[in-house]
C-alpha cells in the first residue's frame, strides 16, 4: 500500500507506472493551488463596487468579467476606471465608475464591447427635460448621496451646481436651499459628483470625497 | 540576403501586438487586450477565459462560444502559434532564465543515430498529459466552484497589460495603486519560481495545444536527405536542443507531441543544413546557401 503510493498508481499487469511520483506531485500541486487560489480570493473578496451600467448584479458580473479592459478603453467620457488590488483581489483590474473623472451618459458602448455580457445590455428611452432630450435607462448604477458635512450648500453658503447639472431632475433644494436627492429619479449617472466643487472650493476639508457621491444601491439604501 | 532570425522576428511581432494594446490603453479605440481583442461586437476572447466565464456564470454566452469555436478552427489549421508569436511571456521568460547548465548529452549510439522513425513525430498520440493539464483542470474546477474566473487572477498575460494600464492611470490621472507593485511582483514570482512556466504550468498553453491536437498545417518537416542525422549519421541534436517544447523530430517515442509545436521556427533556424522547413517560410530557407558541413561538425 505504502509502496504503491510512493511509486504512483500501477498499471495492471505492467511495470510502467501511470504516473511518476514527480508527475503526481505536480498534478496534485496544480489542482490544489488552483482550488486554494479560488477559495482564498473568494474569502478576501472586497465589498460591492460601482460598476458600469449593466454590471449591477455583482456575482453575475464577477463570474463573467475577464478584465479585458475594453469597456474602460471605449468609454467616451472616461468615467470607467480600473479597480485596484486594495478593492479586493477578485476585483483588481475590473472596471469601476470614477465619477471624479466623468459622468455616464448611458451611451451603451461599454455593454456593446463586452463579449461575455458581464455588462448586460439595457434599454433607454428618450425623455424631454428642461428643453433638452435625455436618455433614461432602465438600469441604475447607484444612488447619489449628499455628504452633508462636505457639501458647500449644507455648510457655508449657496451652491446649486449639482441640482442644476442633474439631467433627470433628481436633485431639488429644500427650504434652506440645500440639495436633496430623490432616490427614485436618480440612476447614478454621477454628473453631480463630477461637477461638485466642494473639494476645490473647500480645499481645507481634505480627503478625496466631494459634497455628493454615488453609492451602490446596497450602500445607498434606496 | 540575410534572413531575420526567428527569435528576432517573434520579438518584433510580439512588440507590435504590445504597441497596439498600449495604443488602446491610452486612447479610446476599445480594441482591448489579449484577454479579449476585437472591434465593436466582433471579438476574439481568450479561449480559457471563454470557458471560465461559461463555467462561472453557468449561462450560455453566445459570443464566448462563437469565439471559442473560431479559435478552435484556427488552432486546427495553424496550430499553437499564439504561444510563440503573440504571448508576451516567452519574451519576459528569457529575462529570468538561469544560465544554462552544461548538460552532458548521453553517448550516441551509431545505430541509434541512424535509425529513422518511419512516421516521425506525427505518428505519436496527439496529447500527452502533464502538469499544465492538471493546472487547467484545477482552474476550471475552481472556477465552477467559486463562481469567477480563477486563473485570470494570476494570469501573467493579464497581469502584464494590467500593469501597463495601472501605470498609465498613474501617469495620466495621478491615480496611485498598490496594483502597480503587486502585479509585476506576481509576474516575477511566477517566472522565477517556475522558470519553465510555459512548459510546466501555463493552462492556456495546455488548452491551446489540446485545441491544436488535430492541427494539420504549418508543421515542421525534416528533409531526411539533407539532415545530418539521417543522411550522414552525425549525432546532431541541435533542433532537439533548440526546442523549448521538448519536441524531438527524430525520436517520436521521446518527444512531446507535435500539437505542442508553437511554430517558433527555432529548430529550423538552428539546423546547420536547413533540413527543417515550415510551410510559408519554405522559399526563404531554401534560397539561402547551405552552410558548409565542416563548420557543423565542430558544433555537433
Helix (H, G, I), strand (E, B) or coil at B42: strand
Shortest distance between the Cα of B219 and any Cα of chain A, in A, equals 28
pLDDT tens-digit readout, B75-100: 999 999 999 999 999 999 988 887 76
Give me the DSSP letters along B161-215: HHHHHHHHHHHHH----THHHHHHHHHHHHHHH-TTHHHHT-HHHHHHHHHGGG-
Which residues in chain B have their CB less than 8 angstroms from residue A9's CB? none
Other C-beta atoms closer than 10 Å to the C-beta of B88 total 19
Question: What pLDDT score does B287 carry?
Answer: 40
CB-CB contact of B79 with B215 (8 Å): yes
Indicate the pLDDT class of residue B291, thresholds 50, 70 and 90.
Answer: very low
Cell of B42: 466582433
Look at chain B and count its residues: 300
Dihedral over Cα of B79, B84, B85, B90: its sign: positive
**CA distances from residue A35 to A38, A41, B156 in whole angstroms, order as listed:** 5, 10, 18
Indicate the pLDDT class of residue B289, thresholds 50, 70 and 90.
Answer: very low
Indicate the pLDDT class of residue B124, thresholds 50, 70 and 90.
Answer: low
pLDDT tens-digit readout, B236-277: 999 999 999 999 999 888 889 999 999 999 999 999 999 999
Out of A65, A82, A118, closest to residue B165 by CB = A82
Long-range contact pairs involving A204-208 (C-beta distance under 8 Å, separation at least 24): A205/A150, A207/A150, A208/A100
Shortest distance between the Cα of B151 and any Cα of chain A, in A, equals 7
Half-sphere exposure of B247 (CA within 13 A, CB side): 26
Tell me the mean pLDDT in the region B166-181: 93
Which residue matches cell numbers 451611451? Answer: A107
A84–B38 CB contact, under 8 Å: no
Q: Is A40 on the interface with B (CB under 8 A)?
A: no
Which residues in chain B have their CB less than 8 angstroms from residue A81's CB? 169, 173, 175
| Burial class of residue A38 (count of CB atoms within 10 Å of its CB; 0-12, 13-18, 19+) | buried
B35–A66 CB contact, under 8 Å: yes
User: Among A111, A114, A133, which residue's Cα sits nearest to residue A122?
Assistant: A111
User: Among B291, B289, B298, B262, which residue's Cα sits nearest to residue B278?
Assistant: B262
**E strand or H helix at B36:** strand B36-39
Question: What pLDDT score does B50 carry?
Answer: 97
pLDDT tens-digit readout, A180-199: 999 999 999 999 999 999 98
Q: How far apart are CA B18 and CA B37, in angstroms?
A: 12
Question: What pLDDT score does B36 carry?
Answer: 96
Shortest distance between the Cα of A201 and any Cα of chain B, in A, equals 20
For chain A, positions 50-109, list CB contacts with chain B under 8 A.
59-60, 62-76, 78, 81-82, 84-86, 89-90, 92-93, 101, 109
Shortest distance between the Cα of B174 and any Cα of chain A, in A, equals 12
Q: How far apart are CA B280 and CA B257, in angstroms?
A: 22
Write down the ipTM of this complex: 0.86
What is the model's pTM? 0.86
Identify the residue among B63, B138, B144 best suited for mutation to test binding to A, counting A beta carbons within 10 A and taking the highest: B138
The set of residues, in sequence order, having a beta carbon less than 8 Å from that of B24 and lying 6+ positions away, is: A69, A73, B30, B31, B32, B33
Tell me the mean pLDDT in the region B124-145: 91
Identify the residue among A37, A115, A118 best suited for mutation to test binding to B, counting B beta carbons within 10 A and taking the highest: A115
Cα Rg of chain A (Å, integer): 25
> Looking at domain A48-123, which CATH architecture does it have?
2-Layer Sandwich (3.30)
Q: Is A9 on the interface with B (CB under 8 A)?
A: no
For chain B, positions 154-213, list CB contacts with chain A under 8 A.
154, 158, 161-162, 165-166, 169, 173, 175, 177-179, 182-183, 200-201
Out of A63, A66, A92, closest to residue B46 by CB = A66
Which residues in chain B have their CB less than 8 angstroms from residue A62's CB? 56, 147-148
Question: What pLDDT score does A72 carry?
Answer: 96
| Burial class of residue B92 (count of CB atoms within 10 Å of its CB; 0-12, 13-18, 19+) | middle
A140-222: CATH number: 3.30.70.20
Backbone angles phi, psi at A212, to 5 degrees: -140, 130
pLDDT tens-digit readout, B7-55: 999 999 999 999 999 999 999 899 999 999 999 999 999 999 999 999 9
A26–B143 CB contact, under 8 Å: no
Tell me the mean pLDDT in the region B290-296: 44
User: What are chain B's domains?
Assistant: 6-92+130-212 (no CATH), 219-299 (3.30.70)
Residue of A nearest to B134 (CA): A27
For chain B, positions 60-79, list CB contacts with chain A under 8 A.
61, 63-64, 67
Q: How far apart are CA A79 and CA A101, in angstroms?
A: 5
Out of B53, B131, B166, closest to residue A26 by CB = B131
Q: How far apart are CA B84 and CA B13, in angstroms?
A: 10
Question: What pLDDT score does B120 carry?
Answer: 52
pLDDT tens-digit readout, B95-106: 888 776 655 555
**pLDDT tens, residue order, chain A (222 aa):** 344 444 444 444 455 667 788 889 999 999 999 999 999 999 988 788 999 999 999 999 999 999 999 999 999 999 999 999 999 999 999 999 999 999 999 999 999 999 999 999 999 999 988 888 899 999 999 999 999 999 999 998 789 999 999 999 999 999 989 999 999 999 999 999 999 999 888 767 778 899 999 999 887 644
Backbone angles phi, psi at B94, to 5 degrees: -65, -30
Amino acid at each position: 500500500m505504502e509502496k504503491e503510493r510512493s511509486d504512483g498508481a500501477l498499471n495492471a499487469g505492467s511495470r510502467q507506472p501511470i504516473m511518476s511520483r514527480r508527475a503526481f506531485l505536480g498534478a496534485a500541486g496544480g489542482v490544489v493551488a488552483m482550488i486554494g487560489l479560488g477559495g482564498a480570493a473568494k474569502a478576501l473578496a472586497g465589498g460591492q463596487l460601482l460598476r458600469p451600467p449593466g454590471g449591477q448584479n455583482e456575482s453575475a458580473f464577477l463570474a463573467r468579467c475577464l478584465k479585458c479592459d475594453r469597456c474602460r478603453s471605449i468609454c467616451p467620457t472616461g468615467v470607467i476606471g480600473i479597480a485596484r488590488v486594495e478593492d479586493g483581489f477578485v476585483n483588481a483590474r475590473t472596471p469601476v465608475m470614477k465619477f471624479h473623472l466623468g459622468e455616464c451618459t448611458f451611451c451603451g458602448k461599454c455593454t456593446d464591447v463586452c463579449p461575455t455580457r458581464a455588462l448586460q445590455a439595457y434599454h433607454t428611452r428618450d425623455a424631454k427635460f428642461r428643453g433638452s432630450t435625455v436618455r433614461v435607462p432602465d438600469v441604475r448604477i447607484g444612488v447619489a448621496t449628499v455628504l452633508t458635512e462636505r457639501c458647500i450648500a449644507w455648510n457655508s453658503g449657496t451652491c446649486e451646481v449639482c441640482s442644476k447639472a442633474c439631467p433627470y431632475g433628481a436633485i431639488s433644494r429644500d427650504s434652506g436651499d440645500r440639495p436633496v436627492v430623490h432616490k427614485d429619479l436618480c440612476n447614478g449617472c454621477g454628473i453631480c459628483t463630477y461637477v461638485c466643487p466642494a473639494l476645490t472650493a473647500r480645499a481645507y476639508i481634505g480627503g478625496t470625497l466631494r459634497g455628493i457621491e454615488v453609492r451602490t444601491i446596497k450602500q445607498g439604501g434606496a | 540576403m540575410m534572413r531575420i532570425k526567428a527569435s528576432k522576428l517573434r520579438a518584433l511581432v510580439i512588440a507590435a501586438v504590445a504597441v497596439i494594446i498600449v495604443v488602446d490603453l491610452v486612447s479610446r479605440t476599445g480594441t482591448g487586450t489579449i484577454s479579449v481583442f476585437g472591434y465593436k461586437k466582433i471579438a476574439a476572447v481568450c479561449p480559457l477565459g471563454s470557458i471560465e466565464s461559461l463555467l462561472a456564470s453557468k449561462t450560455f454566452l453566445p459570443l464566448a462560444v462563437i469565439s471559442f469555436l473560431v479559435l478552435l478552427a484556427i488552432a486546427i489549421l495553424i496550430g499553437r502559434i499564439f504561444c510563440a508569436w503573440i504571448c508576451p511571456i516567452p519574451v519576459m521568460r528569457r529575462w529570468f532564465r538561469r544560465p544554462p547548465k552544461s548538460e552532458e548529452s548521453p553517448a550516441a549510439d551509431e545505430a541509434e543515430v541512424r535509425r529513422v522513425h518511419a512516421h516521425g513525430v506525427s505518428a505519436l498520440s496527439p496529447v500527452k498529459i502533464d502538469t499544465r493539464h492538471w493546472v487547467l483542470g484545477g482552474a476550471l474546477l475552481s472556477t465552477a466552484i467559486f463562481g469567477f474566473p480563477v486563473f485570470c487572477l494570476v494570469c501573467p498575460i493579464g497581469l502584464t497589460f494590467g500593469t501597463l494600464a495601472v501605470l498609465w492611470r498613474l501617469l495620466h490621472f495621478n491615480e496611485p495603486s498598490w496594483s502597480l507593485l503587486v502585479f509585476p511582483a506576481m509576474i516575477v514570482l511566477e517566472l522565477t519560481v517556475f522558470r519553465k512556466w510555459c512548459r510546466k504550468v501555463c493552462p492556456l498553453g495546455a488548452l491551446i495545444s489540446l485545441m491544436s491536437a488535430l492541427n494539420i498545417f504549418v508543421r515542421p518537416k525534416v528533409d531526411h536527405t539533407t539532415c545530418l542525422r539521417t543522411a550522414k549519421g552525425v549525432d546532431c541534436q541541435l533542433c532537439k536542443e533548440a526546442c523549448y517544447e521538448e519536441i524531438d523530430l527524430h525520436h517520436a517515442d521521446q518527444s512531446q507531441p507535435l500539437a505542442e509545436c508553437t511554430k517558433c521556427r527555432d529548430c529550423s533556424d538552428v539546423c546547420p543544413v536547413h533540413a527543417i522547413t515550415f510551410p510559408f517560410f519554405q522559399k526563404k530557407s531554401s534560397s539561402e546557401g547551405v552552410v558548409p558541413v565542416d563548420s557543423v561538425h565542430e558544433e555537433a
